[in-house]
Structure 1
């Protein structure tokens, strides 16, 4: 549930692949000492009867990173093309992980929560820049900036200035059951029993990024207020059932509850593991006793409490990858799905883990080298997982591990990079991708890139320079359309693609490209607070193959 991605455990040197394979053949751990009380030894993995090259690579990665259990799925276009499970769902009973094992998915849940809210947006129930207080039924203000509204868009981009500090963190760490009983108003409004100014950051809403589980809890509470349904009931009715997912935020309602994986944290020497969550010991979990009023969804864990298998999460990800549709079932309009995936914020947060963000969709170049991926990661209580897709190849992956050596974050954990790279190398199409097709018109409020719409905060501008037509887009939209990195300081913006770097400044008819000056037919310019840049010239400078139609 918490953004504890950078919690450092005891480092362990990674073995080479040859050594790992030899270890798999040995009676590993036989000479290990007895595990401490409450811990279970990591037993050797069972081998498939006829292991494939992919099986061997994944098992080697598990051994190297001391993974308890791994479930993974790969999807392409409209199909699940591979799934697999390895290792242990329960070290105590010897229950194995399969492709259908469910995991508490941690912050991967945030995509579900955002989708629930955006389904209501599709119905015209609110606008993204509306004041959330108008829907919660009471004013919500940062006490340091009392005149500024806090909006839906800000909650979905972690820029609301509502943080995990203050009483929210204290309750989660010391008395989490309290979340099932309290009115969220008591955390947000002065005079409330759990209100503190420490809940709010010292910057204006919308001006900075701060990853907030509490903010996503408010999103879930807004789903309740607007729909009139408990958050978990809403998701079951309008997301999980239509997508035929045996998943939910209430473990007691999951049909296959006996196949939920236990989550583990390792001992210091990485040879044994302690259960942390979902250790039901064969007894069906009791329903969560929620007494909080409707509109206070914190006890239903919208920020991290989803249980799902990798194969079922793949259905949800396929719906997003394919414009809101899974097979013949639509859960979002195409425009709303595109809006969720469009870059809404860029910067540098959580030691560089977050550089670009959609509406609770993470946009990253760091999980698999050379690929821009959309989705979300999760990490809590020993769980580590990723659900991302590549819009260029229309290929996506989901995987979750229920315990591992979670170190060497740069910015993803090494185990995540290894598994994700292995899956993409096994299934991604070979060869160069085709040119990006960019289409728009002068004064248009969106640009289309390979049939994906990107909403524009400032309209596109098409102008002539001699016989050449220039297309200017807001810098954030240009970075989204070209799949580049982006950094901005004042009126200067820098784009990166691979080893190439281009820097442009408002009013300057030249850009610096890899340290050399390149003239521009027209200078970038500011409009309504945004810097507009020439897209064709920027793409050429970064060696990006594009075809622009205006």
Structure 2
């Protein structure tokens, strides 16, 4: 959910078809799926090496699924449970953190296409008086600025009290099952000054997407989760994808999730169970790699948005502090080390780091997850697949 400077580096950016039967060709420590030609299997070598390197660096396990014109493949490395040594599964469901933001932005753009709102509406039009305090003023912030992080609204996850209660070891184990309402999260942000005047700069803020979820509810009369399920999950048949609300567990099949909190040299803690309302519309969702491939492929192929709204989503601003990246409406355009551009998002939440990206035509995608949040390089996995 929170962003660091790897990818949209969050607390994390990663087509179609479900996994096929296991292929005959395998590599030590990995499982593969999809009846691919040997040439394609060889080309996955960079990804597999990057996954192994992540495990060597301390990530308990990695699961990935990719698809291109040759078909789909999947691979795993490491373990899903450090106590039993059970390996990770290509079918694992996991918390996707800020990848949730692309789903939220897609719903808002669908509502714009239906004429039910405008991206240039003020936040105050839909949530009057909610964005007020210490210089915040929703009368001067647009829906577009929420979606591309140019609003200047303070990120509630950076508030000292919230950070201590949620992201430190002692705070997490005292508060992991607490329920947080969207309004509460916004009020935390309103206790702080905005980062800048609306539209004058860029800074990633989870509060933007909590507000975006609140706008969806006001426009439709339904919770944002209901609209995501109705408009995206059901039509695309994303059977591994869900919005848990306050449910503290991850549906099976799934792995344990591990964290070292603020000390990368400290002990490893099992943080699998938590109340995801702490992330709300900024990062509560659960999915699997095949579903994320299918979602981003459909999105970039224009199956979820009309051309004008997809063009709006892909209109980017500079993502200050993230080299080679620009931010659209809930989606990032990233230039890889080899010059290839991919579109997608990263996501991070306790014990889980995920990325999902696809090429602009939606023809080549990869999604993957680390079940530890303190080590490994997600960018190298993406580079290994595309470069």
Task: Report the TM-score range of the alignment, normalised by the length of the smaller protein.
Answer: 0.7 to 0.9
Structure 2 counterparts to residues 46-65 of structure 1, below 5 A: 46=29, 48=31, 53=42, 54=44, 57-58=49-50, 60-65=52-57
Residue of structure 2 equivalent to 1:74: 66
SS in 2 for 1:214: helix
Residue of structure 2 equivalent to 1:485: none
SS in 2 for 1:259: coil
Structure 2 counterparts to residues 94-493 of structure 1, below 5 A: 94-138=85-129, 140-141=131-132, 143-144=134-135, 149-164=140-155, 170-171=161-162, 173-174=164-165, 180-181=180-181, 183-184=183-184, 187=187, 196-201=190-195, 203-245=196-238, 246-250=240-244, 257-265=251-259, 273-278=268-273, 301-323=280-302, 325=303, 331-343=304-316, 345-346=317-318, 349=320, 351-353=321-323, 355-365=325-335, 367-391=336-360, 394-403=363-372, 406=375, 415-425=377-387
The 2-side partners of 1:166 and 1:57 are apart by 34
Greater relative CO, 1 or 2 (CA 8 Å, sep 6+): 2
The 1-side partners of 2:264 and 2:322 are apart by 29
Residue of structure 2 equivalent to 1:475: none
The 2-side partners of 1:251 and 1:96 are apart by 28
The 1-side partners of 2:137 and 2:121 are apart by 16
The 2-side partners of 1:162 and 1:317 are apart by 27
SS in 1 for 2:72: strand
SS in 2 for 1:373: strand
Residues 1:2 and 2:2 are matched in the alignment: yes
* CA distances 1:416-461 after superposition (whole Å, capped 9, x unpaired): 2321122224xxxxxxxxxxxxxxxxxxxxxxxxxxxxxxxxxxxx
Q: Which structure has the larger Rg?
A: 1
Question: More displaced, 207-216 or 175-184?
Answer: 175-184
Count of residues paired in the alignment: 348
Taking a change above 3 Å as real, the CA distance of residues 299 and 230 of structure 1, as seen in their structure-2 partners, is farther
Contact 1:66 1:270 in 2 (8 A): no
Unaligned runs of 5+ in 2: 10-26, 166-174
Taking a change above 3 Å as real, the CA distance of residues 179 and 369 of structure 1, as seen in their structure-2 partners, is farther
* CA distances 1:455-477 after superposition (whole Å, capped 9, x unpaired): xxxxxxxxxxxxxxxxxxxxxxx
TM-score, structure 2 length as denominator? 0.77
Contact 1:248 1:254 in 2 (8 A): no
* CA distances 1:167-199 after superposition (whole Å, capped 9, x unpaired): 966336425766534735971xxxxxx574515
TM-score, structure 1 length as denominator? 0.55
SS in 1 for 2:202: coil
Taking a change above 3 Å as real, the CA distance of residues 217 and 172 of structure 1, as seen in their structure-2 partners, is farther
* CA distances 1:326-379 after superposition (whole Å, capped 9, x unpaired): xxxxx3223212221222x12x52x335742111211121x4431122111123
Contact 1:375 1:388 in 2 (8 A): yes
Bigger share in strand: 1
Please give the root-mean-square deviation of Cα atoms over the aligned residues, in Å. Answer: 3.7
Q: CA deviation at 1:154?
A: 0.4
Taking a change above 3 Å as real, the CA distance of residues 96 and 133 of structure 1, as seen in their structure-2 partners, is same
Taking a change above 3 Å as real, the CA distance of residues 368 and 111 of structure 1, as seen in their structure-2 partners, is farther
The 1-side partners of 2:160 and 2:58 are apart by 30
Structure 2 counterparts to residues 512-523 of structure 1, below 5 A: none
* CA distances 1:129-186 after superposition (whole Å, capped 9, x unpaired): 1111111243635754759611100000111111115996633642576653473597
The 2-side partners of 1:49 and 1:315 are apart by 18
Taking a change above 3 Å as real, the CA distance of residues 103 and 199 of structure 1, as seen in their structure-2 partners, is farther
Unaligned runs of 5+ in 1: 8-24, 26-44, 188-193, 280-287, 290-297, 326-330, 407-413, 426-550
The 1-side partners of 2:160 and 2:338 are apart by 35
* CA distances 1:8-38 after superposition (whole Å, capped 9, x unpaired): xxxxxxxxxxxxxxxxx9xxxxxxxxxxxxx
Contact 1:167 1:196 in 2 (8 A): no
Contact 1:70 1:87 in 2 (8 A): yes
Residue of structure 1 equivalent to 2:168: none
The 2-side partners of 1:134 and 1:208 are apart by 23
Structure 2 counterparts to residues 25-36 of structure 1, below 5 A: none
Q: CA deviation at 1:305?
A: 1.4
* CA distances 1:63-87 after superposition (whole Å, capped 9, x unpaired): 443331111122236x852222332
